[in-house]
Each structure stands twice: as C-alpha cells, then as structure tokens.
Amino acid sequence: MTTGLTDLRALERNAFRKFYDDGVFDIYVGAMLITMGVAAIFADRLANEFQSGLLTLGLALAVTVPLLLWRRHLLRSRLGDFKPGPARRRKIATTRLVLLGSVLFGVVAFIVATIAYRSDADIDMAGLIVPLLWMLNSLIVFGAMAYLLDVPRFYVHAVIIGSAMPLLIWPDMLWDTKVAPWLAFGLPGSIVASIGIHKLVAFLQAYPVLEAEAAIDGEA
C-alpha cells in the first residue's frame, strides 16, 4: 500500500493509466483498421457500392459496439469507477476536441481527394499527399492521446496506424508493386489488435473481478 503523499500527480497519472491497461481500446482501433481492409474486399466482390458500404458499416458496428459495452463492464468490475479531477477533465476534453478535429480533417481530405480524382488533377501528387495527410493525422491524434491520457504505447500506435495508407499507395507509385488493401490495412490493424490482446490478457491476470460491494457501514 503506497500513500502517494510525495507525488500526488504520479498517483493520479498511474490510477488513470490503469483504465487503459485493459487493451480493449487497442483491439477496437485494430478492429477498425481490419474492417477497412475487409471493406476493400467487399468493394471488390460486390458490384453495388451501397451494399458493400452497408456490409462494412454492419461489420464495424458488430465488432465495435459489443467491445465498447463489454469494456465498461470489464473496467467497473475490476477497477471500479471514478470521476476525474478538473485537470484530467480538461485533458480529456482536449483529447475529444483533437478527435473531432481529426474527423473533420478526414472528411475535408476525403472531399478534396475525391474532387482531385474526378478532375484532371495530378494523380501522382494526390498519391503523395493523401498518405502524408493520413500519416500526419494519425501522428497528431494518437500522439495527442498518448500525451494527454498518459498512455505512452499510443505513440507506437500513431506510427503503426500512420503507415497503413503509405503502405497501400507508395509501393505502387515508387516500385510498381501493388499491395492489396486488405493487407495494407489488415497488417497494421492486426499488430495494434495483437498489442491490445496481449494487454487484455495481462490485465485480466493482474486485476481479478473484485468481490461485489457489500453494505459499507464499518462493522469490520
């Protein structure tokens, strides 16, 4: 039992960090990337874009929603629950802003890329810029999460996830070697999900389900 009296900041950081030790968020992000790879397979096999989009969305929801619901139960039964202090709440709010910014940035980038593709814009330039934007976005989002949420392994995720789009486009541009989309997204996704699974196994061993709360009335 450590009191944490000497370094309250470290005590708070370590307590908060535990809530990301479960690895479920990593599995979630990895699953999303794998879903993007699978979406490419659907798009190839199904002539109808609407059908393939619907299938992808269904798959993404089927994988992620139960995972996130389970995460809540997993954490509550093993770590309990807390309301963070003002400093941590500010950091969480900033993280959400960064995530929102990333989504908006993604939408704008997608629209610009689509317009460029349909016009006579230089395709080689788009092939260079789109992966760079993807990489930059990943580095900013996961880098900010790592820094603000005090979870250093998200720096690694930033690099792994950021490599997906360059892996898809640059080998084709530079060496005329096509990398299948399921591989370009599936490989980084599998690495991130594997890290998550490893963390989850360690978490389940380190933090057993706590005995349910009895009436706390001090009659011990």
Residues of this chain that interact with another protein (CB under 8 A) are 1-5, 8-9, 11-12, 15, 76-86, 88-89, 207, 210-220
The Cα-based distances of 64 to 29, 34, 79, 89, 160 in angstroms read 9, 12, 22, 25, 20
The CA angle 150-65-44, to the nearest 5 degrees, is 105
SS3 47: coil
SS3 157: helix
> Nearer Cβ to another protein, position 155 or 207?
207
> Nearer Cβ to another protein, position 176 or 211?
211
In whole angstroms, how close is the CB of 5 to another protein at the nearest point?
Answer: 6
Distance CA 64, CA 86 (A): 29
> Nearer Cβ to another protein, position 13 or 173?
13
In whole angstroms, how close is the CB of 213 to another protein at the nearest point?
Answer: 5
> Nearer Cβ to another protein, position 11 or 112?
11
In whole angstroms, how close is the CB of 122 to another protein at the nearest point?
Answer: 53
In whole angstroms, how close is the CB of 215 to another protein at the nearest point?
Answer: 6
SS3 193: helix
